[in-house]
Amino acid sequence: MPAAEKPGFVSYSIQRIDRPDANYMLFWLQNSRNEHTLGIVGRDARHNKKWKYKTHPDLTAYPAYNSDTKNEVLVWLASIGAEHMVPAKKATNLPTMTEDDWLRLQPKAAKAAVAAKEAAEKPSQTAAKPKESAQKAKELASKAKETAASKPKGRPRKKAKVREICMYCNKTSHASEDCPVKLAAEEGPGSEDEEISNSEGEDKEAEAEQSSEPETNRHQPAAAPQRSQSGRDASHSPEVQDAYEHDPDLLRWVSGSLDQEKLELLTRWSTQLTGIVSPKPPQEMHLDSEGQPLRWLPTNTAINILRKLESQQVTLRLLELSQISMPVAMLRNNASAEVATLAKTLAKRWRELAVAALDCATKALERRA
């Protein structure tokens, strides 16, 4: 409507109506001819005094207006000329709201009511819809079965190969049942001795190959021998010799020279003894503190290693570098009585040597002071 044809409103009245669905605040606009038009509708949908105001759809002469406060609505009414308020009780000829009018204020409710009326007018059609949908579902299911039967079946998917780790030697080249370590243990103690001797022979062959390398590589000093050389020089100092001059065996144990072949042999035995020592292979895989599977070592093999270890002249430097004292100490509580006895004997011998060396060093310091 053009601006010249806008109705001229002179006052307004506020009508409060509470309904089950919401609370309403109707702003009726009155012109000079005492005609009323619904201009603003306030709605409290949840009955918590949070009002939402907006213009009525029939008020097309002005742009749509929305607000959350009543004061802003009053300012907007004054802007269109309705400055004076007439109480609803004194206002005359206020229109009466019908149910259709209330439905117009509720778009969702109006749509629901229209849908209910249409469903009531056409009950046969609404009742036929579920049957039709069920028939369509059956037809689609039958078509799906026919297409599935007509299509050729694809090749079955191959299962991914999972490489299992052997619980006896930590290798993936063979299964645990075919492990040569297990088979050697089942044959008897003689095969275990052969296994140890074979491993020693392989180590000697590797050392021979290393000795056949060019002289430039062979004479290059390695990191471990450098450390052992420095430690040996420190142990041969005059102070150390004076401290252990009354006990040559103890001096040899503290300041003995480092034998590289013996160190490699003790390191290999330390690795073997770190695993699970039992007469039969364990049925379940055991993991160490780092999550790695532990190797299985037959009891007879462990006994042979401990007996050979008894005949070896072990020095303090060899114990430190090979770390063989830790697995030997763990075997003191082994289920095999012979393994536990041998381990206790070795651990006691090394402990007594360490205590004696400490006492001699303490007395030497006291004499020097």
Three state DSSP letters for 105-143? CCHHHHHHHHHHHHHHHCHHHHHHHHHHHHHHHHHHHHH
User: Residue type at 297?
Assistant: L
Contacts of residue 202, defined as CB under 8 A and 6 or more positions apart, other chains included, come to: none
Top mean pLDDT of 2-6, 59-63, 171-175, 187-191 is at 59-63
| DSSP structural state of residue 166 | P
DSSP secondary structure of 262-327:
HHHHHHHHHHHHTSEEESS--SS--B-TTSPBPPEEEHHHHHHHHHHHHTS---HHHHHHH-THHH
| Mean pLDDT computed over every residue of the chain | 75
Residue 341 has pLDDT above 90, yes or no: yes
CA 355 to mean position of chain CA atoms:
48
Confidence band for 186, pLDDT divided at 50, 70 and 90: low
pLDDT tens by residue, 122-172? 655 545 556 677 788 888 888 887 777 776 655 665 555 555 666 656 566
pLDDT given for residue 344 in this prediction: 93
Please give the average per-residue pLDDT across 323-343, as a whole number. 90
| Residue closest to 301 by CA, chosen among 168, 177, 195, 166 | 195
pLDDT given for residue 124 in this prediction: 53
Please give the average per-residue pLDDT across 24-49, as a whole number. 87
CA dihedral over 269, 271, 276, 280, signed as positive or negative: negative
pLDDT given for residue 340 in this prediction: 92
Which is more confidently placed, 75 or 131?
75
pLDDT given for residue 81 in this prediction: 85
Residue 173 tokens, joined: 């080249």
DSSP secondary structure of 77-99:
HHHTT--EE--TTT--SPPPPPH
Residue 217 tokens, joined: 């590589």
